[in-house]
Chain A
Amino acid sequence: MDLSEINPVLLVASLMVAATPLLLAAIGELVVEKAGVLNLGVEGMMIVGAISGFAISVETGSPWLGFIAAAIGGAVLSLLFVLLTQVALANQVASGLALTLFGLGFSALLGQGYVGVKPPSMGEIHIPVISDIPVIGPILFQHDPILYLGIALTAAVWATLKYTRVGLILRAVGENHDAAHALGYKVIKIRILAILFGGACAGLGGAYISLIRVPQWTEGMTAGVGWIALALVVFASWKPWRALLGAYLFGGITVLQLNLQAAGVAIPVEYLAMSPYIITILVLVILSADKSSAPASLGRIFHASH
């Protein structure tokens, strides 16, 4: 065992990278659930975002266009969910599961010609002076732009939900859609916008995996991150900063346990492998002791006639 081989600076830097896809997907789903919609299709939207972003950035040579395409791809797929649950009033759980199954298959089809292709690199933001500060520089100021976007998005969602009228309306729709409807808010329209936002975020998260974290396209490459994001939203009690904490905790322990293994720490590997899940759940369960609960209308179908 040689713990000195673990470089804490690199560790923190790589945990932020590992956490970003999860964070992006979780923030999107958080907004969707705050609006009272349970979309279990996160995994499907992520993988479609991963391939749309990958394909477009390979074709155009621009990772930026790739990320925009990924957001659009995720949002377009979520339109299918909109059609099923908001227009046809289908069951949200079943529709969400269908969306994941469809997304996984559809992305495999789209990705046929992209196996083994290398995407253009996005590069890191390098700010003179600041990025070169020892320790803090590599941790905070030497990442790709999308990682910062994830943090900015968390802050924006938090501020919007807490301080703005838009946030208030969104929460009202999620807590009691009949009352919101009686007040004259367009429940369906607001929910559709929330679902599209969730789809776009999931798409970004997927593209982060295929363009930055791995970077390549392989079928099924999101490998369950979407499901973890869903669980994270619940354990974070629908609070954006807790989702960020949860994502960093999960990403951090995932990377840390690999580091410990490589350094030869004599903890049985099975415990290390399950530690990200257990510790994330534990911490978030302890935090959620303040009785914050799910949006009251979560998963319920709304129709103006009721």
Chain B
Amino acid sequence: MKFTSLLTSAAMALGLATTAMAEDKTKVGFVYVGPVGDGGWTYEHNKGRLAVEEEFGDKVETVFVESVPEGPDAERVMTQMALEGADLIFTTSFGYMDPTINVAKKFPNVKFEHATGYKTADNVSVYSARFYEGRAVQGHIAGKMTKSNTIGYIGSYPIPEVIRGINSAYVHAKKVNPDVEFKIIWAYTWFDPAKEADAASVLIEQGADVILQHTDSTAPQAAAQEAGNVITFGQASDMSEYAPFPRVSSIIDDWAPYYIARTQAVMDGTWESANTWDGIREGMVAIGEISDAVPADVKEEALALKAAMAAGEYHPFTGPLKKQDGSDWLGEGETADDGTLAGMNFYVEGLEGEIPQ
């Protein structure tokens, strides 16, 4: 536990003491996997939390605990929040899935919202963003801009969300550059700047001149900057401190509207268990500014691709596509259904290596 979480606990204890006076307040809890200052994933969730406070002012009280390990510890933190009167709890990492379900069973009157998972219950909703739409844009830019035809990809854990991202980026890079090759490193962490930096350096040493990351810190950006001729993309947050180079664009997760809507629903008593999966069209996924390091024509194509997805005219997984083993997946013009995407556990044709099981 960190100093800030100690402070939070202290604040919670204080909160308990004052609940008698403030019973009409809606209490919203957030469980974070990294520190709020990670500059990426958790940073954006925390921005969503601040937006909720901004929107409702005195009517809402938010609490958060950061750097909660995925596993039994998470269950303890959620239980604590529920015991201390939280009405709505957002658990913001894939690994909190089973802990959320377990705790939710014990507190049927508390609403839970689990990010990026797939298990729901009467009082558990799941929500996620279609990051793979953003990956399509990144893949396009990466395929156009790579000179070594080698793109490095830092994966976190081999879960469907990450695999979708790899597939989507690969499909779109391959489309514009048939010679492109992906090198994938599984870091087995969401947040470990030193390890992420090492992974990025290794990929660069092995010839990658584009680094895509699915981990939460800005360390790979720093490694790319050090190397000098490598481009990167902001992950989960804009990471604009590394723009215009090496960071040439980014995927931004905008959770604020969703968090505000769900808090409102709890206040109004209209909250229902739901399965939300929004993308560029709904604004949950945004593409950060494409910097001038990208040639104008590539930028235009990337923006057109984004516009097509926003209008619902284009799906990043449109056939013909084959699986890695050569078997057919999608026929000509066919698009992937959400069920397959949600449980995606295979690479598309052309990617090398195996997904760790």
Given known A5-B207, A214-B197, A258-B198, contact A220–B191 (CB-CB < 8 A): yes
Closest-by-CB residue of B relative to A111 is B37
Residues of B close to A221: CB separation below 8 A: 193-194, 217
**A101 vs B225: C-alpha distance in the bound complex, in angstroms?**
32
Please tell me if the beta carbons of B198 and A255 are within 8 angstroms of each other in the complex. Answer: yes
Please tell me if the beta carbons of B35 and A216 are within 8 angstroms of each other in the complex. Answer: no
Residues of A close to B189: CB separation below 8 A: 223
Choose among A5, A6, A21, A261 the residue that contacts B185 (Cβ–Cβ < 8 A).
A261
CB distance from A285 to the nearest CB of B (A): 24
**A5 vs B150: C-alpha distance in the bound complex, in angstroms?**
12
For chain B residues 187-210, which have a beta carbon within 8 Å of chain A?
Answer: 188-189, 191-195, 197-199, 201-203, 205-207
CB distance from A84 to the nearest CB of B (A): 17
Please tell me if the beta carbons of B202 and A259 are within 8 angstroms of each other in the complex. Answer: yes
Choose among A14, A218, A225, A268 the residue that contacts B356 (Cβ–Cβ < 8 A).
A268
Closest-by-CB residue of B relative to A115 is B37
CB distance from A24 to the nearest CB of B (A): 14
Please tell me if the beta carbons of A261 and B194 are within 8 angstroms of each other in the complex. Answer: no
Please tell me if the beta carbons of B194 and A105 are within 8 angstroms of each other in the complex. Answer: no
**A118 vs B246: C-alpha distance in the bound complex, in angstroms?**
13
Residues of B close to A264: CB separation below 8 A: 183, 352-353
Specify the main secondary structure of chain A where it touches its partner. Answer: helix
Closest-by-CB residue of A relative to B205 is A10
Interface size of B by CB at 8 A reads 47
For chain B residues 137-191, which have a beta carbon within 8 Å of chain A?
Answer: 152, 158, 183-186, 188-189, 191
> Counting CB contacts under 8 A, is A135 at the interface?
no
> Counting CB contacts under 8 A, is B301 at the interface?
no
Residues of B close to A117: CB separation below 8 A: 241
**A102 vs B39: C-alpha distance in the bound complex, in angstroms?**
22
> Counting CB contacts under 8 A, is A58 at the interface?
no
Residues of B close to A261: CB separation below 8 A: 184-186
Choose among B206, B222, B241 the residue that contacts A5 (Cβ–Cβ < 8 A).
B206
- Contacts between the two chains (Cβ within 8 Å), count: 128
> Counting CB contacts under 8 A, is A106 at the interface?
yes
> Counting CB contacts under 8 A, is A7 at the interface?
yes
Please tell me if the beta carbons of A7 and B193 are within 8 angstroms of each other in the complex. Answer: no
Choose among B3, B191, B198, B356 the residue that contacts A270 (Cβ–Cβ < 8 A).
B356
Please tell me if the beta carbons of B193 and A105 are within 8 angstroms of each other in the complex. Answer: no
Choose among B152, B218, B356 the residue that contacts A269 (Cβ–Cβ < 8 A).
B356
Please tell me if the beta carbons of B193 and A223 are within 8 angstroms of each other in the complex. Answer: yes
Please tell me if the beta carbons of B35 and A225 are within 8 angstroms of each other in the complex. Answer: no
Given known A106-B3, A269-B356, contact A218–B35 (CB-CB < 8 A): yes
> Counting CB contacts under 8 A, is B1 at the interface?
yes
Counting chain B CB atoms within 10 Å of each CB, the highest count among A108, A209, A254, A255 belongs to: A108
Residues of A close to B291: CB separation below 8 A: none
**A162 vs B318: C-alpha distance in the bound complex, in angstroms?**
70
Residues of A within 8 A of B (CB): 5-7, 10-11, 14, 18, 21, 101-102, 104-106, 108-109, 111-112, 115-118, 209, 213-216, 218-223, 225, 254-255, 258-259, 261-264, 266, 268-270, 273
For this complex, 28 residue pairs linking A to B, each with C-beta atoms less than 8 Å apart, are A6-B206, A14-B205, A18-B198, A21-B194, A101-B1, A101-B3, A105-B3, A108-B3, A108-B37, A109-B4, A111-B37, A115-B37, A116-B241, A213-B197, A214-B193, A216-B218, A216-B222, A218-B219, A219-B2, A223-B191, A223-B195, A254-B198, A255-B202, A259-B202, A261-B186, A269-B186, A269-B356, A273-B188
The 5 closest A-B pairs by CB, nearest first: A105-B3, A219-B35, A116-B241, A269-B356, A258-B202
Residues of B within 8 A of A (CB): 1-4, 6, 34-39, 67, 152, 158, 183-186, 188-189, 191-195, 197-199, 201-203, 205-207, 217-219, 222-223, 225-226, 241, 352-354, 356-357
